[in-house]
């Protein structure tokens, strides 16, 4: 049985405490349903990787994948300000766009946060972000509260193939 360690559970509680109550409630209901389904649990255990995000971290995330605006040295300077480790020159992650929101503009930047990101914890302790599994989790979250928007279905029309940008781990309230 896949369960969180005490430290992981404490981190999850701390993350949820900095997220808007409606979103935290929808996440919690979805998580309980997921944990009650053995087949879903085989895909991993949903875990919040980030709820509230500082403006400094948002600025560092925005700098990723935009080397003309933010050469590696500048990207790593922003990461240091945010308390994040540097990327190496070989890093493919450094070249990947992960957000279109500048500092202060993300729904993660509110306090409490309007957004949270989810990964799937595996039995070996690793995290995965399988799109299919995250879509199944998104259905449970949206069933719990239809106001929550999934980052793979921004227009919440139930389709993910009509989006230019998929942020599979991302869930947010927009108002």
SS3 state at 139: helix
153 binds Zn ion (CB under 5 A): no
Enumerate residues 6+ apart whose C-beta is below 8 A from 26: 141, 144, 145, 148, 171
Near Zn ion by CB under 5 A: residue from 47, 48, 62, 117: 117
**Alpha helices (H) along 19-86:** 21-35, 38-41, 55-63, 72-81
Angle between helices 55-63 and 72-81 (to 10 degrees): 160
For the CB of residue 117, give the shortest distance to Zn ion in the complex, in Å.
Answer: 4
**Span interacting with Zn ion, options 13-21, 80-88, 89-97, 117-125, rule CB under 5 A:** 117-125
Least separation in angstroms between residue 130's CB and Zn ion is 17
Q: Check residue 150 for interaction with Zn ion (CB under 5 A).
A: no
Cβ-based nearer residue to Zn ion, 19 or 115: 115
170 binds Zn ion (CB under 5 A): yes
Cα distance between residue 11 and residue 127, in whole Å: 15
**CB-nearest residue to Zn ion:** 170
Q: Which residues bind Zn ion (CB under 5 A)?
A: 115, 117, 170
């Amino acid at each position: 049985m896949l369960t969180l360690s005490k430290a992981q559970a404490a981190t999850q509680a701390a993350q949820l405490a900095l997220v808007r109550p409606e979103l935290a409630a929808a996440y919690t209901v979805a998580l309980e349903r997921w944990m009650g389904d053995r087949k879903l649990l085989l895909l991993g255990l949903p875990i919040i990787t980030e709820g509230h995000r500082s403006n400094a971290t948002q600025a560092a995330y925005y700098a990723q994948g935009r080397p003309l605006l933010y050469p590696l040295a500048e990207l790593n300077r922003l990461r240091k300000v945010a308390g994040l480790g540097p990327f190496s020159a070989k890093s493919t992650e450094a070249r990947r766009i992960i957000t279109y929101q500048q500092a202060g503009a993300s729904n993660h930047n509110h306090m409490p946060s309007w957004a949270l990101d989810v990964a799937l914890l595996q039995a070996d302790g690793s995290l995965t972000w399988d799109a299919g599994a995250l879509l199944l989790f998104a259905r449970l979250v949206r069933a719990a509260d239809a106001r929550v928007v999934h980052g793979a279905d921004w227009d919440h029309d139930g389709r993910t193939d009509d989006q230019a940008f998929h942020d599979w781990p991302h869930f947010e309230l927009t108002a």
